[in-house]
Amino acid sequence: MPGRILIDPQPSTGAWNMAVDEVLLEAAIERNAMSVRWYGWREATVSLGYFQQEAANRSPGLAALPVVRRLTGGGAILHHRELTYSCALPAGHALARDPLRLYDAVHRAIIAVLAVQGVRADLRGAAAVGGHEPFLCFGRGDPRDVLVGGYKVLGSAQRRRRGAVLQHGSLLLEASQFAPIFPGLNDLARRRCLGVEHAGALALGVAAALGGEWSPQALNAGEHGRAAVLSEERYSRVNWQRRRVPERESAELTVGARDRDC
């Protein structure tokens, strides 16, 4: 199964980033297309989970930041000094049928790239259950989180639609002044061990874990136009998910709500 690797040359707005991820999910559904994408954020931005209350984004230190709502559920993410990835797989892919295996495969691939950079990272392996969940995703725990020195540096989320799956996640490079309690890889290593120049190696590592033949590509003209529409008409509005949805899509949202993320 052929796949494409997309590495965004410039950081983009939250609305554009989320729109492109949805376009890649649509390509997986409609054309059985696989993709791996790495990208950045033009400015510090809070992304809310699909079901998260909009008012929650007014937490101290975050109130003045731009806000976008993700297609995936879970807690809020502060996207700032990080690299973000997404992968989209069609329904026929073996890992699309097992969400936990997909989390594991992608996270282990990223751990392997970090090891080459001299950073030891591990899966959490166990997480506390119950109690109040913090607003920000990096304050939450999941067994498949990637940790460095006991600190979470990578968490991911999924959305499933008609058997295809979109998974995306944030790899924290450095602490943000808007959430200084969450150190990044470079903080924990006490040196600059990872940066945007490593996006290619990370993309190749994830692609290899997914299997198939891969080549670097960009969005085609139709996809670019579709992303522009989604960015303007959907992701530019923080509460876009409150529209009435067809019965079939409503059922898919219920499935997505059960996917573990962050």
Judge whether 262 counts as a catalytic residue: no
Contacts of 146 (CB under 8 A, 6+ apart): 107, 110, 111, 121, 122, 123, 124, 152, 153, 154, 155, 171
Q: Give the number of residues written for the chain.
A: 262
Beta-bridge partners for 165? 89, 160
**Residue whose C-alpha is closest to residue 68's, from 14, 12, 29:** 14
**Catalytic residue chosen out of the listed positions 87, 137, 193, 262:** 137
Question: And the tokens for 132?
Answer: 């109040």
Beta-bridge partners for 155? 170
Question: Contacts for 128-136 with beta carbons within 8 Å, 24 or more apart?
Answer: 133/75, 134/75, 135/56, 135/59, 135/75, 135/76, 136/59, 136/75, 136/76, 136/77, 136/78, 136/179, 136/182
**Residue whose C-alpha is closest to residue 117's, from 192, 37, 208:** 192
Distance (Å, whole) CA 14 – CA 32: 26
Catalytic site positions: 137
